[in-house]
Structure 1
Amino acid sequence: MAVNLTEEQMREMIQGPGDIEWSYEMRRQCQEILPNLLLGPLQASKSLETLKSLGVTHIVCIRDVKEAFSVRPRFPETFQYMVLDVADSEEQNLIRLFPQAKQFIDKAIQQGGCVLVHCNGGISLSPAFVVMYVMEHFRLSWEDALHMVQNRRYCISPNGGFLTQLKEYESIYKANLAVASFPQQRNATARRKRTDEDDEDDERRDEERKRILVDDNEEEDDAMES
């Protein structure tokens, strides 16, 4: 569900907290991007104690298929997982996989849960998914969404192919919004079209009746003359 904020609130949201001093060690930790939505590396998913202290209930594990032996659900009896096997390359289609990830995150948060989204390094792959989520959630441009996530986890750097897909996804979600926001107009147009078609049918039937009457009168006149 999209969130509507004032322009000033949105600007503050994108800029993020200004009192954070980023350190290299924070790359190995997860950061809160939104309330109940965390982003981090594999390292952040290994400590059961830390995950519980953060209130995590759901985990989106995004991994290159070659990493499956190490990047994997570690506490399936404690947390609900979604595992996405992808290729961490510029050719990987993330847009096709994003809807199921978004559905998983939305459902978890709606149920009062807290979601950690992670890949191996938390630098390129998982951040791309979170940027798409933030983009649609706040109806932002891809650049503003990227800045918003980057201002909370400074080390993210989606590869060039993923950046191209972020741009593409902005057009996709905005087009879907435009279609969804005009159902009444579409229905009204459809009703007008049906009404116009009905009027045309009535006109054709009237013309047909007139022709029949004219033909009948002409036949009667011919019969009388003969």
Structure 2
Amino acid sequence: MATVNPTQLSPEQLKELIQGPGDEWTYEMRRQCQEILPGVLLGPLQASKSLETLQSLGVTHIVCIRDKMEAFSVRPRFPDKFTYLVLDVQDSEEQNLIRLFPQASAFIDSAISKGGRVLVHCNGGISLSPAFVVMYVMQHLQISWEDALHMVQNRRYCISPNGGFLTQIKEYESIYKAHNTLANYPQQERATVARRKREDDSDDELELRYVN
């Protein structure tokens, strides 16, 4: 599975990517992890507990997302074998995921840029970790929240982010798009706008001095 560059995908290729492989889903697969994007796997706690399985999948980094009350059981199992990021997050509709997402996103990006493979997991792999992965897919592929949710669901059919997480996933679409717009704004035009603002501020200051 090669790294996906969204700018090189045609609309048909992107649609095919979102639809997924169409593999038959069985109940037992809930206990396993699935590859959502090249190098990004999503699963439950159980998928993080087998050293043999993790090594067979080529995992190098693990994002362990847990409620603080689960810290005794949901924890890094092999800190000497893998690089971990642990996020203490409440699995409640009031929990702010958007504030925590940049840390997870940067960790995943760094791992992949080094040729690594990342497992993102929570306890059940149903609500909490899928919410982070949906936001990551949305941002990485620059697609809508609906398409990102469908893409993750088409690979891990059992996911079901709670209502509060789903609301934040929807909100994140406008946030990442605004960030991309700003980042893509031509540097020269940004400099021109900044210069004009300084000039306008100077004019206002001169006018105030004159009035005084």
TM-score, length of structure 2 as denominator length:
0.89
Question: Is the counterpart of residue 136 in structure 1 residue 139 in structure 2?
Answer: yes
Question: Is the counterpart of residue 46 in structure 1 residue 49 in structure 2?
Answer: yes
Question: Is the counterpart of residue 124 in structure 1 residue 127 in structure 2?
Answer: yes
> Contact (CA 8 Å) 1:150, 1:156: kept in 2 or not?
yes
1:189 Cα deviation from its structure 2 partner:
2.5
Letter in 2 for 1:6: S
1:179 Cα deviation from its structure 2 partner:
1.3
1:186 Cα deviation from its structure 2 partner:
1.7
Output the CA distance in 2 between the equivalents of 1:195 and 1:124. Answer: 51
Output the CA distance in 1 between the equivalents of 2:5 and 2:142. Answer: 7
Within-5 A mapping of 1:126-205: 126-182=129-185, 183-192=187-196
Mark the CA change 1:193 to 1:67 in structure 2 (over 3 Å): closer, same or farther: closer
Mark the CA change 1:196 to 1:93 in structure 2 (over 3 Å): closer, same or farther: closer
Query: What residue ranges of structure 2 are gaps of 5+ in the alignment?
Result: 208-212
Post-superposition Cα deviations, 1:56-79, rounded to whole Å, max 9, x if no partner, equal 000000001110000000000000
SS at match of 2:24: coil
Partner of 1:108: 111
Mark the CA change 1:129 to 1:196 in structure 2 (over 3 Å): closer, same or farther: closer
1:194 Cα deviation from its structure 2 partner:
5.6
> Contact (CA 8 Å) 1:123, 1:155: kept in 2 or not?
yes
SS at match of 1:96: coil
> Contact (CA 8 Å) 1:2, 1:139: kept in 2 or not?
no
1:3 Cα deviation from its structure 2 partner:
2.6
1:40 Cα deviation from its structure 2 partner:
0.1
Output the CA distance in 1 between the equivalents of 2:73 and 2:40. Answer: 23
Question: Is the counterpart of residue 69 in structure 1 residue 103 in structure 2?
Answer: no
1:26 to 17, 29, 38: 29
Post-superposition Cα deviations, 1:142-189, rounded to whole Å, max 9, x if no partner, equal 110000000000000000000000011001111111111113222123
Post-superposition Cα deviations, 1:80-113, rounded to whole Å, max 9, x if no partner, equal 0000001110000000000000000000000000
Letter in 1 for 2:193: T
Output the CA distance in 2 between the equivalents of 1:2 and 1:120. Answer: 31
Output the CA distance in 2 between the equivalents of 1:97 and 1:2. Answer: 25
Output the CA distance in 2 between the equivalents of 1:197 and 1:27. Answer: 59
Query: What residue ranges of structure 1 are gaps of 5+ in the alignment?
Result: 205-226
Partner of 2:12: 8
Output the CA distance in 2 between the equivalents of 1:71 and 1:30. Answer: 16
Q: Taking every aligned residue pair, what percent have the same amino acid on both sides? A: 76
SS at match of 2:76: coil
Output the CA distance in 1 between the equivalents of 2:26 and 2:118. Answer: 24
1:87 to 76, 86, 90: 90
Question: Is the counterpart of residue 96 in structure 1 residue 99 in structure 2?
Answer: yes
Partner of 2:59: 56
SS at match of 2:6: coil
Partner of 1:223: none
Output the CA distance in 2 between the equivalents of 1:156 and 1:197. Answer: 52
1:2 Cα deviation from its structure 2 partner:
6.5
Mark the CA change 1:167 to 1:197 in structure 2 (over 3 Å): closer, same or farther: closer
Letter in 1 for 2:43: G
Say how many residue pairs are matched: 202
> Contact (CA 8 Å) 1:131, 1:146: kept in 2 or not?
yes
Mark the CA change 1:187 to 1:82 in structure 2 (over 3 Å): closer, same or farther: same
TM-score, length of structure 1 as denominator length:
0.84
Structure of higher CA gyration radius: 1
